[in-house]
Structure 1
Amino acid sequence: MTDTRDLAPSGLDTSPRLPDPDRAYRALIDAHRGLTDEESAALNTRLVLILANQVGDETVLEEAIALAKGEAG
């Protein structure tokens, strides 16, 4: 069987993987509710580092950064 996920050359999977993306979005928004801008930025930094560690692959992480910056083709 062929894997039909959207894989970039590095192996970054850009296909939808969250079963309920709206729920995930709400969780992110709710996590920031009531925080100052500084607290929100700190939360984002911690979350990015935790998720980067979860990815565990520097090449995939670099591809994700480029995609987020709008630099990926």
Structure 2
Amino acid sequence: MKLDTSPRLADPDAIFARLVEAHLGLDEAASRRLDARLVLILANHVGDEAVLRQAIALARDPAPPNARR
């Protein structure tokens, strides 16, 4: 299976706002734990190791998404 990076969120700004809101009041360590838990929950939902490897590689790439071809 191949990683699907096409836009799929109906309201990405609202999702971003919820992510920011989830971090309010947390110190750096708690914020990192929240991020780690969220990543593991979503990785479990995806459930495909090949797709997760592609996502990890993409996340590590410093190039903006629209610069990739």
Q: TM-score range by the shorter chain?
A: 0.7 to 0.9
* One-letter amino acid of the counterpart of residue 48, structure 1: V
How many residues were matched structurally?
Answer: 64
Give % identity. Answer: 56
* RMSD of aligned Cα (Å): 1.6
Q: Which one has the bigger helix percentage?
A: 2
Q: TM-score, normalised by structure 2?
A: 0.87
- Structure 2 spans left out of the alignment, 5+ residues: 63-67
Shift of 1:24: 0.3
1:61 equivalenced with 2:61 (yes/no): no
Partner of 2:26: 35
1:19 equivalenced with 2:10 (yes/no): yes
Shift of 1:14: 0.3
- Structure 1 spans left out of the alignment, 5+ residues: 1-9
Structure 1, residues 13-33: CA drift from partner, whole Å, max 9, x if none? 000110000000000000001
Q: TM-score, normalised by structure 1?
A: 0.82
Structure 1 stretches of at least 4 aligned residues deviating more than 4 Å after TM superposition: none
Structure 1, residues 33-56: CA drift from partner, whole Å, max 9, x if none? 110000000000000000000111
Give, in whole Å, the separation in 2 of the partners of 1:34 and 1:64: 29
Give, in whole Å, the separation in 1 of the partners of 2:22 and 2:13: 14
Give, in whole Å, the separation in 1 of the partners of 2:45 and 2:2: 15
| Higher-RCO chain (CA-CA 8 Å, sequence separation at least 6) | 2
